[in-house]
Amino acid sequence: MTEFKYLRLKPHIVQKIWGGQKLKTMRPTEEGLENPIGETWEVSRLEEGPTETGLGSLHSLCSEKELPYLVKFIDTNDNLSIQVHPDNDYALKNENSSGKTECWIILDSAPGAGIYLGFKKGVTKEKFQKSVESGEDVNNLLNFYETKKGDFFMVPAGAIHAIGKGVTLVEIQQSSGITYRVWDWNRLDSAGNSRELHIKKAMDVCCFDEEFNTRETFKMQRDILSRSGTTLIASHEDFNVWISNGGWDSSKIETKGRCPSIVSLGSAVNLGELEIGSWDSCLFKTLPGMLESNKPILVVN
């Protein structure tokens, strides 16, 4: 792999009909993007959407071991499909891929907006499948959590979920593009066609255990962007997520052979020889010793 000390990153932009306008206004984007932007993949080595650098794409510059995670911004102007992701074992056997556990940090939320996450008590596999097959409003079987800026949610593989409209967030996930859509709000496109669903696989991987579908499993936290100092928000075998407000000591962080990244959450980040612009990202071989910013910084390793 190509040697580097750090790489400034140019995100992969995903235009979606359900996207909003905020990701266009957070920082300059390419000219001619007429459709709403649903996602920007800030740190990605996935072949279908690699982040670009001055030396080439991260797909060619970093191995899967060095970069087993993906960071993206998401902005919604409509509800996303109700979906689920497989764990490592199922994904390897059926998709030749890693599984997909992810987590969300809410950056903005319209009044009354929120996310759907986990089944309500009493929802069985049989009840859920019957609802899906009959075209009922499947969202009524899921927990809905109204969101506010600074909220955090862990979304483990097997957790049914959907991001509701009016939400802007940063997502940190395993480096996988595997998504099983189970319901899409009975929407049709201009030609009268519905989106492809993956009901069989979704039913295989959904977890209906009541103890799983709880706030404790989803590690829900509030107001994490206002905490002072450096806080470990989430820990997974493929990524650790830190929020830093103020002093930062990288000597306490074990990278485990992964390339760490720093993502600005609203202001420039001063690293001495390097400055990361507002909402920009940078990938490192090793974490820099000191960070300075007057707004929270996302650090992933």
Which pLDDT score is estimated for 269? 84
Is the same domain home to 197 and 244? no
Which pLDDT score is estimated for 270? 81
Number of domains in the chain: 2
Q: What's the Cα-to-Cα distance from 122 to each of 10, 208, 242, 286, rounded to whole Å?
A: 45, 9, 35, 47
Exposure letters 139-158 (e unless 16+ CB within 10 A, then b): eebbbebebebbbbbbbbbb
Does a structural domain hold residue 257?
Answer: yes
Domain range for 85 is 6-224
Is the same domain home to 121 and 132? yes
Which pLDDT score is estimated for 25? 87
- Report angle CA 56, 58, 62 to the nearest 5 degrees: 115
Is the same domain home to 102 and 239? no
Is the same domain home to 217 and 253? no
Is the same domain home to 218 and 234? no
Is the same domain home to 55 and 70? yes
Is the same domain home to 181 and 277? no
Is the same domain home to 76 and 43? yes
What is the value of pTM for the model shown? 0.95
Exposure letters 59-89 (e unless 16+ CB within 10 A, then b): bebbeeebbbbbbbbbbbbbbbbbbbbbbbe
Which pLDDT score is estimated for 280? 95
Is the same domain home to 287 and 140? no
Is the same domain home to 148 and 23? yes
H-helix or E-strand containing 141? none
Q: What is the CATH number of the domain that holds 72?
A: 2.60.120.10
232-235, Cβ contacts within 8 angstroms, sequence gap of 24 or more: 233/103, 233/105, 233/152, 234/103, 234/152, 234/154, 234/172
Within 10 A of 226 (CB to CB), how many other CB atoms are there? 11
Q: Catalytic residue numbers?
A: 181
Is the same domain home to 213 and 253? no
Does a structural domain hold residue 1?
Answer: no
Is the same domain home to 34 and 113? yes
Per-residue pLDDT of the chain (301 residues; tens, 9 = 90+): 568 889 999 999 999 989 998 998 887 766 667 788 999 999 999 999 999 999 999 999 999 999 999 999 999 999 999 999 999 999 999 999 999 999 999 999 999 999 999 999 999 999 999 999 998 999 999 999 999 999 999 999 999 999 999 999 999 999 999 999 999 998 877 677 888 899 999 999 999 999 999 999 999 999 999 988 888 999 999 999 999 887 666 666 666 789 999 999 988 888 777 888 999 999 998 877 767 777 888 999 9
Which pLDDT score is estimated for 250? 66
